[in-house]
Amino acid sequence: AELVEHTFVVSQVKLNRLCNDTLVTVVNGQFPGPAIEVNEGDSVAVQVVNKSPYGLTIHWHGVKLQLNCWADGAGMITQCPIQPNKNFTYRFDVAGQKGTLWWHAHVGSLRASIHGALIIRPRSGASSYPFPKPDKEIPIVIGEWWEMDLDQLDKNLRNGYHLDMPRAATINGKPGDLYNCSGTVKDSNIVKVEHGKTYLLRIVNAALSSEYYLKIAGHKFTVVAADANYVKPYITDVIAIAPGETVDALLVTDAHPAGRYYMVAKASQSPKPVPQIPLFITRGIVQYSEGPRKEEEKALSDSSTSSIMAPEMPDEHDAATSFYFHGNLTSLQPQPVPANVHEHLFYALDGGFFCRKGESSCNNDTNMMGMVNNVSFQLPTTTPLLQAHYHGNMSSIGTLRELPDRAPRMFNYSKTLEPTSKATSVRRLRYNVTVEIVFQSPVLADTYSNPMHLHGHDFLVLAQGFGQYNAETDVATYNLLDPPVRNTVHVPIFGWAAVRFVTNNPGVWFLHCHLGHHSSSGMAAAFVVENGPTLDSTLPPPPEDFPSCENYNSRVAY
């Protein structure tokens, strides 16, 4: 095992996309940020040097951080933001996980520009992959190009639901050739391949706003892992990937080498089109080395791209393709599914109105909040939850409330929107108990699928379905043999999903939708996992140089 060290300098730089210079907050001047590459069992130390005007944290999305909740980097959940002109070094081990994860800022919407891949290779080398050894690995980070200031975006979000949108979708930071002012291939991500080889695509959806369909014309994928857990090889020509999810897929370059092929990521939308939301499509190009030669390539780059083969994409309102993609994934190995469930939780995910005191009419989007079981989550403003929990003064968090185990009414969504409350909602869980959560998306509203992400644990995704969850009949559909192991569960639009996990990691762990406008408006909750009986089930003290909230300026985005 080795120590992998990085320095992340966070600053505002001007980057040029789509004919505009835009001031963006990024790591080491790059968008997306640098990939962290480790072998399983390695230790990681990332020194974050904050030269940006924002308080910020970095979260290691999907890394289990056993007994190391302090390193989780969830702003005001596990730590105070690193203030401007301050540094902090995150230290953690990567154990028991293989595949692709990612890292991102975890204050407000900054993750839209501050993120990168986290690649975990098997300790014993690539030859120990349970699939054909890839000749090369290619990270594919799907993201968004925001011309809007992300701090302003957060201000809007804190006041409720909003429809601010990015300017473009991107693959590895490039918007592709379908936007105004991007008519040539120079704005496109080019994947250079050789004929007859096997590539391992390490795909991350780092976007705030949309789930994506990904296809490459003339090629198929073999999905081999999701959220850094191996799955049974699954052959498909389309990958569905929601915000927060990661997918490892093999690409065999067996198409005609003289051709060029678009790689397209297309956002999926609510079934009922919302006119204010543009359709996001970004595309890059898969280019064989045997293909057009240099001069020809140069000519092509200035001219039209019509000779490039384009895949036929699913309709943007097609929810079924994503439903089946997610449902077709199973674990590579049989999973020991704990049968004895100690805590049954039913979490209704929805948007609701929050009416301020004395406000007579509150029937517009500006009062809409994301919520779980009718509670819209509020981040603490002075003490992070983990510190409060560790020091035994949770009561210092004025807005603290126990999250109800189920929705206060039966959610039949005949009436989807009703007044909600705001609170720092927390659910306490004993150490080493089995928790089952059924997540229910709204059934009658025009909404999205909800990619629910849990920090510090993976869960077994036992089942998903369309419509209302039915406790009597739907348990019969549970996969108790080889359910996929994930850190983000895709709760289908108009449907539900059931997960199980064991509380084996003491600390305070955030649970939230990974869609930006959902999480930032309160579709979130926190779990307190209590200490177990022994030293190796007890959360150790915080690092000595842990950022403090002193002089914390709540105006700074969090």
97: nearest Cα among 294, 246, 319, 320: 246
Interface residue with ligand C2O among 6, 167, 512, 518 (CB under 6 A) is 512
Among 232-240, 305-313, 443-451, 508-516, the segment contacting ligand C2O (CB under 6 A): 508-516
Q: Which is nearer to ligand C2O, 457 or 514 (CB)?
A: 514
Can you tell me whether residue 331 is helix, strand or coil?
strand
- Tell me the closest approach of the beta carbon of residue 370 to ligand C2O, in angstroms: 14
Q: Which is nearer to ligand C2O, 367 or 424 (CB)?
A: 424
Q: Which is nearer to ligand C2O, 260 or 457 (CB)?
A: 457
Check residue 518 for interaction with ligand C2O (CB under 6 A).
no
Among 11-19, 419-427, 477-485, 507-515, the segment contacting ligand C2O (CB under 6 A): 507-515
Identify the helix (H) or strand (E) that includes residue 286: strand 281-288
- Give per-residue burial for 369-402: e unless 16+ CB within 10 Å, then b: bbbbbbbbbbbbeebbbbbbbbeeebeebeebee
Residue type, 172: N
Among 118-126, 136-144, 406-414, 510-518, the segment contacting ligand C2O (CB under 6 A): 510-518
Segments in 121-275 forming alpha helices (H): 150-158
Interface residue with ligand C2O among 6, 17, 61, 486 (CB under 6 A) is 61
Residue 134: is the preceding peptide bond cis (ω within 30°)? no
- Tell me the closest approach of the beta carbon of residue 143 to ligand C2O, in angstroms: 13
- Tell me the closest approach of the beta carbon of residue 527 to ligand C2O, in angstroms: 12
Check residue 104 for interaction with ligand C2O (CB under 6 A).
yes
- Tell me the closest approach of the beta carbon of residue 364 to ligand C2O, in angstroms: 29
CA distance 370 to 352: 6
Check residue 139 for interaction with ligand C2O (CB under 6 A).
no
Check residue 106 for interaction with ligand C2O (CB under 6 A).
yes
CA distance 55 to 45: 20
- Tell me the closest approach of the beta carbon of residue 106 to ligand C2O, in angstroms: 6
Q: Where are the beta strands (DSSP E) in 51-153?
A: 58-61, 87-93, 99-105, 115-121, 136-145
Q: Which is nearer to ligand C2O, 121 or 455 (CB)?
A: 455
Q: Which two tokens stand for residue 87?
A: 């540094």
CA dihedral 89, 94, 97, 98 (to 10 degrees): 90
Q: Which is nearer to ligand C2O, 98 or 455 (CB)?
A: 455
Residue 357: CB atoms within 10 A of its CB come to 4
Segments in 66-222 forming alpha helices (H): 150-158
Q: Which two tokens stand for residue 68?
A: 């190391």
CA distance 496 to 435: 16
- Tell me the closest approach of the beta carbon of residue 336 to ligand C2O, in angstroms: 26
Q: Which is nearer to ligand C2O, 59 or 174 (CB)?
A: 59
User: Which residue, judged by CB position, is nearest to ligand C2O in the bound state?
Assistant: 61
CA distance 411 to 290: 57
- Tell me the closest approach of the beta carbon of residue 221 to ligand C2O, in angstroms: 23
Contacts of 225 (CB under 8 A, 6+ apart): 98, 99, 100, 231, 247, 248
Q: Which is nearer to ligand C2O, 108 or 134 (CB)?
A: 108
Contact of 89 with 7, CB cutoff 8 Å: no
Q: Which is nearer to ligand C2O, 367 or 387 (CB)?
A: 387
76: nearest Cα among 544, 524, 530: 524
Q: Which two tokens stand for residue 530?
A: 């209590």
φ/ψ bin of 99: left (φ > 0), alpha (ψ from -120 to 50), beta (otherwise): left
127 secondary structure, DSSP code: G
Q: Which is nearer to ligand C2O, 6 or 111 (CB)?
A: 111
Q: Which is nearer to ligand C2O, 6 or 61 (CB)?
A: 61
> Could you give the string, one character per residue 234-253, with x where binding to ligand C2O holds by CB under 6 A and - elsewhere?
----------x---------
- Tell me the closest approach of the beta carbon of residue 469 to ligand C2O, in angstroms: 24
- Tell me the closest approach of the beta carbon of residue 376 to ligand C2O, in angstroms: 17
CA distance 85 to 247: 35
Q: Which is nearer to ligand C2O, 179 or 377 (CB)?
A: 377
Check residue 202 for interaction with ligand C2O (CB under 6 A).
no
Give, in order, the Cα–Cα distances in Å from 31 to each of 230, 478, 515: 28, 40, 20
Among 187-195, 389-397, 506-514, 532-540, the segment contacting ligand C2O (CB under 6 A): 506-514
Q: Which is nearer to ligand C2O, 22 or 100 (CB)?
A: 100
Q: Which is nearer to ligand C2O, 218 or 516 (CB)?
A: 516
Interface residue with ligand C2O among 17, 59, 98, 219 (CB under 6 A) is 59
> Could you give the string, one character per residue 273-312, with x where binding to ligand C2O holds by CB under 6 A and - elsewhere?
----------------------------------------
CA distance 6 to 27: 11
71: nearest Cα among 98, 48, 99, 37: 48
Q: Which is nearer to ligand C2O, 479 or 519 (CB)?
A: 519
Residue by residue, DSSP assigns 492-510 as -TTEEEEEEEE--S-EEEE
Check residue 74 for interaction with ligand C2O (CB under 6 A).
yes
Q: Which residues pair with 510 in a beta bridge?
A: 526
CA distance 120 to 246: 12
Contact of 490 with 497, CB cutoff 8 Å: yes
Number of residues this chain uses to bind ligand C2O (CB under 6 A): 11
> Could you give the string, one character per residue 393-432, with x where binding to ligand C2O holds by CB under 6 A and - elsewhere?
----------------------------------------
Check residue 453 for interaction with ligand C2O (CB under 6 A).
yes
Residues making contact with ligand C2O (CB under 6 A): 59, 61, 74, 104, 106, 244, 453, 455, 510, 512, 514
